[in-house]
Amino acid sequence: MSAEPAVVLFDLDGVLAHYSHAPRLAHLAQCSGRTVDEVAQALFGSGLEHDADLGLHDAAGQVAEFSRRLQAPVGLDDCIEARRLSMQADTAMLALAAQLANRARVAILTNNNLLLRDHLPRICPELFPLFEGRVFCSAQFRLAKPDPAIFHACLAALGASPGEVLFIDDKAANADGAYRAGLHSHHYRDLPTLRAHLRQFGLDEEANDAT
């Protein structure tokens, strides 16, 4: 059995929450008077979301640049609501995270922008207060997963060393990047497989409750 980690670090979309582009694009199209295709081009096709995820825009700057590229007025509240509609918390994963929080610190590291990080309590309130003060994103470090450097930057902010951290991500490349940075890592596919991995650390509360 491996030593119990002091920190369990979660990816966001695809792990703690389900994400879909469609509701986000539809809401932005409705409030701007543009088509879904035009919104998708301004947000994704133009590279704006990618640039914001790397910290080239703060929340206000991202909204202003989106409006400019879309050639239609869009407000911060519209963008927050669109992102809220795109996410649905995974209640089973949040229950597991709450159990793990009894044994370790829990935190989030996501490839995302400052708009999401700064307004996440409105976008996905179910994550709080569990992750209060421990939500980290690529934009704040100007680095992105799977670059091992982002994990070192995040761990410095957490005051943790790589060997005492378990990282969970639904993308294999990101889990591999964490492993290369010296963290324990798990490529998340489903809850039963994750629970089996947690048993290596004695962290599967479900199994412990059954004994």
The DSSP code sequence of 72-96 is S---HHHHHHHHHHHEEE-HHHHHH
H runs (alpha helix) in 87-162? 91-100, 114-123, 138-141, 148-158
Q: Domain residues for 205? A: 7-16+90-210
44 within some domain: yes
Average pLDDT over residues 63-81: 98
Report pLDDT for 205: 61
Domain end marker among 59, 85, 111 = 85
Burial of 56 (0-12, 13-18, 19+ CB in 10 A): middle
Q: How confident is the model at residue 210 (pLDDT cuts 50, 70, 90)?
A: very low
- pLDDT one-digit tens code per residue, 152-190: 999 999 999 999 999 999 999 999 999 999 999 999 999
CATH of the domain at 41: 1.10.150
CATH of the domain at 169: 3.40.50.1000
Report pLDDT for 206: 58
- pLDDT one-digit tens code per residue, 92-130: 999 999 999 999 999 999 999 999 999 999 999 999 999
Question: What's the whole-model pTM score?
Answer: 0.94
CB 197 within 8 A of CB 167: no
Residue with tokens 């119990």: 4
Distance CA 66, CA 22 (A): 17
Domain end marker among 85, 106, 134 = 85
Domain count, the chain: 2
1 within some domain: no
Distance CA 210, CA 93 (A): 19
Regarding whether 147 and 199 lie in a shared domain, the answer is: yes
- The neighbouring-strand residues paired with 186 are 168
Whether residue 211 has pLDDT greater than 80: no
